[in-house]
A and B are shown apart, each in its own frame.
Chain A
Amino acid sequence: MADNNGNQKDGLPRIGFYICHCGTNIAGVIDVAAVAKYVAGLPGVVVSRDYKYMCSDPGQEMIAADIREHKLERLVVAACSPNLHEETFRKAAAKGGLNSFYFQMVNIREHASWVHEDKAAATQKAKDLARAAVYRVRFHQSLEKKQVPVDPNVLVVGGGIAGIHAALTLANAGKKVTLVERESTIGGHMAAFDKTFPTLDCAACILTPKMSAVKSHPNITLWTYSEVEKVEGYVGNYKVTVRRKPRYVKEDLCVGCMECIDACVFKEPKFPAKFDQGLGKRKPVYIDFPQATPKVVMIDPETCIQFKTGKCKKSCAAACDRDAIDFAQKPEIKELQVGAIVLATGFQTFDSKKAPQYGYGKYPGVYTALEIERLVNASGPTSGEVTLRDGRHPKSVGIIHCVGSRDEKTNKWCSRVCCMYSLKLAHLIKEHSGAEVYNFYIDMRAPGKAYEEFYDKLLSEGVHFIRGRVAEVTDWAMTPEEEGKLVLRVEDTLAGFVRRVPVDMVVLSTGLEPKADAQEVRRRFNIGCGNEGFFQERHPKLAPVNTFTDGVFIAGACQAPKDIPDTVAQAGAAAAEALALIDAGHVELEPNTSHVVEEECSGCKSCVALCPYTAITFNESKKKAEINEVLCKGCGVCAAACPSGSIKQNLFEDDEIFSEIEGVLGK
């Protein structure tokens, strides 16, 4: 027990209790005056007050003044979740001259007034929870937060526009950044786009300068074709293991002259190029696109004759005057020390085969939006000419919105970008081919700077808009005009009847989804996912780039679907949060670590194997367990397991929890 107990007649520390109205958020359901009155009668309580907004300056000031005036030794505040204001009231305690940890918070908003309608029952619950805190706080100890230094280096994972922007921001601020990208080049989805809405900027023209800036920045180490395998440590001090996959070309020697590609024994490109969504072809030795960064070729062992048979004449290697080609290259494992991590791992588009009613994969005239991005692109497989798979030029094109979005059967969420990119593609298709373009939409969502105006522009360009979710795409013709066409069947909800619209080409505006391995990735970085699988932010409004793991930040579409401007803004925010963490130079850690009471330890070693952080060791000479408080993260597993009760977890000691149990069940 703390040494300043016993000032009162009953030997209990002097407790101050404060209950917040939170406007009507709490007081509208819970009778706060009744709770304050009830708590005033509990043993040890010398002050008990209710106040409109306890977290406000006057509220905090009142607490601090009371601590001084009434010589309070413990503080209990009943208000919102400790996740929101625990720190506020710890500071109020300190302002009054009380150790911050002589404080306990009671959550009567999120856990009571907001979730209960029965006022009497909610008030009773508030009394029970307050009583538990009053009982518990007697056992609180004076504690200090421990400070640990922060490593100033940062890891950025994902080299799309989010990762690129975050890395550049951090690097420009003088931080050493390692950018790890899974694919062979940075650029992400944006590099594959033709134009960007609503300004119709050429995506490559605005992106590639940033890509080169990453490559040439003295503060950025760029590791493409690499993946993070393991993350250990804690905020400010992460140890990261990265696997650099073999591209069979020495990155430091290759200059991207592409002589090897010309010299390959395959005279013509034969294999589907992933970057062109399989519409274009590549050789076994290839580079994704001309501006790929780093501009280094790679060899695909799945298609290369040398890897498959070992009997190629290796004309590529012979053509390289720098001897950059290395068929024996092995994966490399690298280790990094960083203080902060920005995750910008992006999204994947909905798999159109999961919506079989639209015939993707069945009818060659059905395309995904990403395929169209490549088709209308001047450096794409058709040099920007809109042609069907059979070489014909479409005279009419139907664009189906919300494929894998706003759909109970697939993904319920709105992907936010599809309306706008569908408008953009409609404009580009019309511009490139002169075809009649029909948009089939549920609702037109154009909320953004100059977005609605872009929609107006499309309307004036003569693009057709039909409001309704398309039921199916079929090649079954009912009239001679429908022969050889793809027919979209749709209920036109504005006109009030079912239409059949025959077209040559169908474009599916696929929605955005979490990456297939988002769950594995978030576990690796010890963060959470929402129900739909996107990474979970710490607070949906007030901490949108933070996660529940300090020092790990998220940016871009890995958090939720968003367009390029929002992604860039969020990447900047994540970089700023990382900078704030690093530039403070140190972090303060919760003092909720465990320690061993040596006299009581029986030396049974039960705890040693339980600790996931190897913070517990056995001192053979003393025959006692010892806990390294720097390694301890404060889960309390050891304290729960110790048979002799000799392990104590600060802030969660047995006495504290037992008294809380007694308190909630008291009368």
Chain B
Amino acid sequence: MTKHPAQPPAAPGQFEPRIVAFFCNWCTYTAADLAGVSRLKYAPNVRVIRVMCSGRVDPQFVLEAFAKGADGVLLGGCHPGDCHYAEGNYKTLRRMRMLERMLKAMGVEDGRFRLEWISGAEGDKVRAVVNEMTARVRALGPLDLPGRFQEWDKEMEELEKRVGTADAPEVAHAR
């Protein structure tokens, strides 16, 4: 068997991204199990949440993960045509294309959200995708939406204060 190199060793003190993954039970979760059984080595940055079908993944799950501090979100489903539930992954594809556009508009960089089709036989693809994505998100740096939310809240508060003291009710109204 070909020996795969483990993920490149993280330099001390370097940023370690936190990635949340949603894997469908039948293909990608099974592939991750296979990667384990095959003792492939990959980056420890991904936390997998199991769903029965990638079609169960509400775009809100992805947004929630970013909002709660994820630096990346990975979604794994069966290859097109292979969905255990016939067509759930097509619905995923449509939803996630839309979500990608939304994320872009929100300033979340390309590469922080990734949709991958990984069949139950593709343990090695789990390894490759996780390693690639970890490297990419590491290069992008922290997303830190919770931190940004706090900053934005502070800005809003200050704005409110300023509006209150400026005694300009029509401006406050417009807000």
Contacts and interface: CB of A to CB of B under 8 A. Distances in A.
Contacts of A115: 35-36, 39-42, 44, 127
A592 interface: yes
A661 interface: yes
Contacts of B57: 640
Interface string A624-640: 00000000011111011
B47 interface: yes
A658 B22 CA distance: 12
A649 B44 CA distance: 30
A419 B84 CA distance: 38
A282 to B, nearest CB: 38
Contact of A657 (B27, B30, B49): B49
Nearest to B26: A548
Interface string A513-545: 000000000010010111100001000000000
B50 interface: yes
Contact of A635 (B37, B52, B64): B52
A156 B56 CA distance: 34
A111 B36 contact: yes
B49 A132 contact: yes
A181 B68 CA distance: 56
Contacts of A610: 91
A536 B48 contact: no
A469 B11 CA distance: 47
Contacts of A128: 47
B133 interface: no
A665 interface: yes
Contacts of B149: none
B36 A523 contact: no
Contacts of A548: 26, 30, 84, 120
Given A661-B65, A665-B69, A640 B47 contact: no
Contact of A636 (B26, B47, B51): B51
B55 A636 contact: yes
B29 to A, nearest CB: 8
A662 B65 CA distance: 7
Contact of B61 (A110, A531, A649, A661): A661
A362 B32 CA distance: 47
Contact of A109 (B18, B36, B65, B86): B36
A530 B121 contact: yes
B81 interface: yes
A76 to B, nearest CB: 14
A110 B85 contact: no
A109 B120 CA distance: 17
Interface stretch (A116-124, A348-356, A574-582): A116-124
A529 B44 contact: no
A657 B119 contact: no
B52 to A, nearest CB: 6
Contacts, number: 134
B68 A528 contact: no
B32 A111 contact: yes
B36 A110 contact: yes
Given A610-B91, A664-B20, A82 B84 contact: no
A184 interface: no
Contacts of B37: 110, 114
Contact of B85 (A125, A635, A657): A635
A201 B77 CA distance: 48
Contacts of A634: 52
B88 A635 contact: yes
B6, B86, B87: which has the most chain A beta carbons within 10 Å?
B86
B70 interface: yes
B49, B57, B88: which has the most chain A beta carbons within 10 Å?
B49
A149 interface: no
Contacts of B20: 661, 664-665
B17 to A, nearest CB: 12
B49 A526 contact: no
B41 to A, nearest CB: 6
A48 interface: no
A112 interface: yes
A110 B40 CA distance: 10
A608 to B, nearest CB: 14
A529 B121 contact: yes
Interface string A297-316: 00000000000000000000
B44 A121 contact: yes
A122 B36 CA distance: 13
B33 interface: yes
B119 A528 contact: yes
A652 B44 contact: no
A492 interface: no
B6, B18, B81, B82: which has the most chain A beta carbons within 10 Å?
B82
A211 B87 CA distance: 40
A82 B30 CA distance: 10
A529 B82 CA distance: 10
A657 B55 CA distance: 14
A637 B56 contact: yes
The 6 residue pairs across chains A and B that have the minimum distance between CB atoms? A110-B36, A636-B56, A637-B55, A635-B85, A121-B44, A635-B53
29 contacts: A81-B36, A82-B50, A107-B33, A111-B33, A111-B36, A112-B44, A115-B127, A116-B41, A116-B44, A118-B44, A122-B44, A128-B47, A132-B47, A526-B84, A528-B27, A529-B121, A531-B122, A548-B26, A612-B85, A635-B52, A636-B51, A636-B56, A637-B88, A639-B58, A640-B57, A657-B49, A661-B64, A661-B68, A664-B47
Given A111-B32, A657-B61, A661-B64, 15 more contacts: A81-B36, A83-B29, A111-B36, A116-B41, A121-B44, A523-B81, A528-B119, A529-B121, A548-B30, A635-B56, A636-B51, A652-B51, A652-B52, A658-B61, A658-B64
